[in-house]
Structure 1
């Protein structure tokens, strides 16, 4: 009887492992992981478990408030990095000069179009107002288009002038204004932008 139970448990474990593998494969296919992206000062790459503490250091009260995150949202993200199974679409910004992490980004499938991606980002408190966000976003936009995605969507609160300036700098166009629900349960007036790669056929 013990042998039968053992076989059932092993079989169940193998089945769960196989299903988990299929789910991971499906998620990877849906998110379409980007290759490493380089800019003049930064390497934009997928996080590894050793990054967990540094990722946590990029998340302070200002970041939580601006993005409408809760502390639990942050804990879940950091714990996922530490476990080796980071949130799909998460990237970290590593400084070429000293290897420190200055910020992070998320690149997610858009709800509206399979050829679109939604881009978000944040910079840690020690590295703000140094131009890292503009540099990283410009490099990411180029890489996302190179990966075959026609449209990049960026959403922000009407009060977030820094993101609006970056959108203007990279040539993103405002396409909508609507209420935006946030993870902490609040709802803010939001602005949505689109960035489309210019082609020879476009003016």
Structure 2
């Protein structure tokens, strides 16, 4: 049985890839699987000349159906593996990041319940998520194959999960990554967000990305204060569609990596 994540990756590949490429890929697997199957079918038919014609026809029908199922399954497995590697390269750009009070890391299945507890109506509203999206994210963690780019914030003191973040490719700049985050209701107003965001921005720069983009609504003063604290500069203001279908006035910030003395010397003649 195919894992859910593989099915999703195959569906995405079919939607995004040219139809001709999809057809050629599937056809190549049908030929690969079908050639030995046809040879087997001919041998069985020759050896079963005395069998009723209906049985031979049923055998060939079953053989062809089996070829299509096996070839389709192998093709889908291969495609999902390729998409998985490409997705990991795009999204999983950070390892474990440690701060004075937190460990910022990819979630594991055991985190599912605790991560769900960090999601409340305020978090959904602030990030423009729907309950369905939140459940899907938690389900992905429970399955052992979390949403690409997802990180969990774990407190060093007691191991509790205090929140999470997403690190995604920028839609407009390949040298940038987009950062979003949230803190659960039991751990807000303790400075965790500023601590985590500052560390993640530094880690993203260290991973080779010159710019970190942060978007927030004009009414979210908490995120705006964090952006000011870490030195992010307002880039533009525009109406932003959110995952829940609403469109809100938003502010986009950019934190750009500062050139060190060494790097300046390297770029000057």
User: Would you tell me which structure has more strand in proportion to its own residues?
Assistant: 1
Of 143-152 and 42-51, deviating more is 42-51
Question: Is there any run of 5+ residues in structure 1 with no aligned partner, and where?
Answer: none
Q: In the alignment, which of 157, 161, 166 is matched to residue 106 of structure 1?
A: 166
Q: Secondary structure at the match of 1:155?
A: strand
Of 158-167 and 67-76, deviating more is 67-76
Distance in 2, matches of 1:8 and 1:152, equals 46
Alpha-carbon distance, 1:15 to partner: 2.1
Q: Secondary structure at the match of 1:52?
A: helix
Q: In the alignment, which of 46, 49, 62 is matched to residue 122 of structure 2?
A: 62
Cα RMSD, aligned residues only: 1.5
Distance in 2, matches of 1:100 and 1:10, equals 45
Q: Which structure carries more relative contact order (alpha carbon 8 Å, separation 6+)?
A: 1
- Using the size of structure 2 for normalisation, the TM-score is 0.72
Q: In the alignment, which of 70, 75, 81 is matched to residue 21 of structure 1?
A: 81
Q: Secondary structure at the match of 1:144?
A: helix
Distance in 1, matches of 2:212 and 2:231, equals 11
- Residue 83 (str. 1) matches residue 143 (str. 2): yes
Q: Secondary structure at the match of 2:199?
A: helix
Q: Secondary structure at the match of 2:244?
A: coil
Any idea what the Cα deviations from partners look like across 1:81-126, whole Å, max 9, x if unmatched? 1112211100000111111110000000001111000000000000
Residue 209 of structure 2 is matched in structure 1 by: 149
The structure having more radius of gyration, on CA atoms, is: 2
Alpha-carbon distance, 1:6 to partner: 4.1
Residue 171 of structure 1 is matched in structure 2 by: 231
The answer to whether the 8 A contact 2:87-2:148 is kept is: yes
- Residue 194 (str. 1) matches residue 230 (str. 2): no
The answer to whether the 8 A contact 2:93-2:207 is kept is: no
Residue 71 of structure 1 is matched in structure 2 by: 131
Distance in 2, matches of 1:159 and 1:4, equals 61
Count of paired positions: 202
Residue 34 of structure 2 is matched in structure 1 by: none
Distance in 1, matches of 2:89 and 2:228, equals 31
Q: In the alignment, which of 101, 119, 137 is matched to residue 179 of structure 2?
A: 119
User: Would you tell me which structure has more helix in proportion to its own residues?
Assistant: 2
Residue 94 of structure 2 is matched in structure 1 by: 34
Stretches of 4+ moved more than 6 A in 1?
none
- Using the size of structure 1 for normalisation, the TM-score is 0.94
